[in-house]
Amino acid sequence: MSPSLSIFWFRQDLRILDNPALTAAAARGRVLPVYILDEAHPGPWRLGGASRWWLHRSLQALNQALDNQLWIFAGDPLTVIRELISRHGADAVYWNRCYEPWQRDRDRDIKQTLREQDVAVSSYNGSLLWEPWEVLKADGTPYRVFTPFFTKGCLQGPAPRSPESRPPELQLLPCTQSKQRIEELALLPTVDWYRVMATQWQPGETGAAQRLESFLETGLDQYRKGRDYPALEAVSRLSPHLHWGEISPNQVWHRIRQETLSRGLEEKGEHYLRELGWREFSYSLLYHFPELPRRNLQQKFDAFPWRNDAESLRAWSSGMTGYPIVDAGMRELWQTGYMHNRVRMIVASFLVKNLMIHWHQGEEWFWDCLLDADLANNSASWQWVAGCGADAAPYFRIFNPVTQGQKFDPEGHYVRRFIPEIAALPDRHLHDPSAAPEPVLTAAGIELDSTYPRAIVDLKDSRNRALEAFQSLSGKQGFAD
């Protein structure tokens, strides 16, 4: 009698270490590892361009780690899995849970259908430190404010599980497909706009592990400051690896704890672990409020008078607003698929408050351009900046891009890296070229609206306009439940 064969379905867990569902499948017997590109169920959340590039490279790395035994398909997952069951005699399917609404609905239907056909289906938590349904207030309702969510809901509950090692015996069903199957998914865009990304990132489990160790060695000491100063190399840049599950949050959590305890850096480590807590909070919001990506959690914002301004949106998305810290951030995003945390808040505030363009527009651009495009984080973060989400920043908190640039990029290293056409400006004028005297501009080789755009909006006027719009919401209905 042949040993049992289980299908293991890779999704957003593209790793071998600390992969609970893979470990469980391997303990049962032979494993058929499969990745299925599902382009139908996501709807508007179909993978963006940057995510597709990352997935292509990550699948290549995973396939290599599996000795080229990764089965690759595109299509409806239920159809693919049922065909594999019929062809190879598999009698069990394993996967790690995903939490996006469309994936939850799809997975529920698949699980029900397979179980009705006497196929065992098991799912595990391989993506979060705590399950969203386990972190609730005393009355059983979800938290809507981050600090009590993290300090009371998370930290006072069970500690995150320890990471698992590689399955001791991984008996893979030999793959009979062509080795070109990943290329046949056509994940790469026809224009190689991702060429800069390829020089800065190493998708895959090995790249994730190296990124973590590099952060521990060179970034952790400066993290508390570095998360605000974009020119410093002091952030982990682990977000794409975490999104694709090339490293688990449990691996990161326990490695940070281990390293900081051994070096007496517990306080600095806690600041980073708190950021992992924000990731958990975003997933909790998405789980309990599945309309988070489209619907204002603060319902009064449904009446907000957003502006339809295609020209300003194009200027913002292409990094041509005339405000260098905003433009540097948008160019960093386009060139590298990434943007520093502080700058993300600045560019988002500028779009939704100074330009009064709907946060949906920004969310959609980020979705296409970010390597770490994550439905929970992206949606919760945009709602936070816009003031319409849970635990949102007050709407009257409007980031001034000039003073933000002067404070967090005082020597202009970040701006000059991404906007070389204004690099010759002296520091005192670098963050507001439109206000620089004409002789200073001429000496720097700058002609406004020619070599660099004049500011597309007046900061004071646009701030007042946004505040007046917010005041018009007075008395409207509040939080969505």
What residues act catalytically? 275, 278, 306, 341, 359, 382
Mutual orientation of helices 249-263 and 266-288 as an angle, nearest 10°?
160
Query: Which residue, 279, 300, 298, 278, is CA-closest to 289?
Result: 298
**What's the CA gap between 312 and 335, in Å, rounded?**
20
- Give the integer Cα–Cα distance in Å for 115 and 25: 17
- One DSSP character per residue, 92-106 reads EEEEE---SHHHHHH
How far apart (Å, rounded) are the C-alpha atoms in residues 442 and 329? 25
- What is the rounded distance in angstroms from the CA atom of residue 364 to the CA atom of residue 369? 9
Q: How many CA atoms lie within 13 A of 47 on its CB side?
A: 22
**Kindly report the CA angle at 315 between 350 and 233, in degrees rounded to 5?**
60
d(CA 303, CA 206): 48
Helix (H) or strand (E) holding 405: helix 401-408
Q: Which amino acid is at 153?
A: G
Distance between CA atoms of residues 52 and 186, nearest Å: 9
Find the helix or strand (DSSP H, E) in which 73 lies. strand 71-74
Tell me the C-alpha distance between 436 and 441, whole Å: 7
Cα 375 from Cα 295, distance rounded (Å): 13
Secondary structure class of 418 (helix, strand, coil)? helix
Instruction: Determine contact, residues 10/182, Cβ cutoff 8 Å.
Output: no
Is the distance from CB of 378 to CB of 368 less than 8 angstroms?
no
Kind plus residue range of the DSSP H or E element containing 31: strand 30-37
CA 246, 249, 250, 255 torsion: positive or negative?
Answer: positive
Phi-psi region of 294 (alpha: psi -120 to 50; beta: other; left: phi over 0): alpha
Distance CA 236, CA 272 (A): 9
Can you name the residues that pair with 94 across neighbouring β-strands?
8, 122
| Distances 204 to 16, 244, 306 between C-alpha atoms, Å | 10, 9, 40
Q: Which helix (H) or strand (E) holds 144?
A: none
* Structural contact between residues 9 and 94, judged by C-beta atoms closer than 8 angstroms: yes
The residue type found at 283 is Y
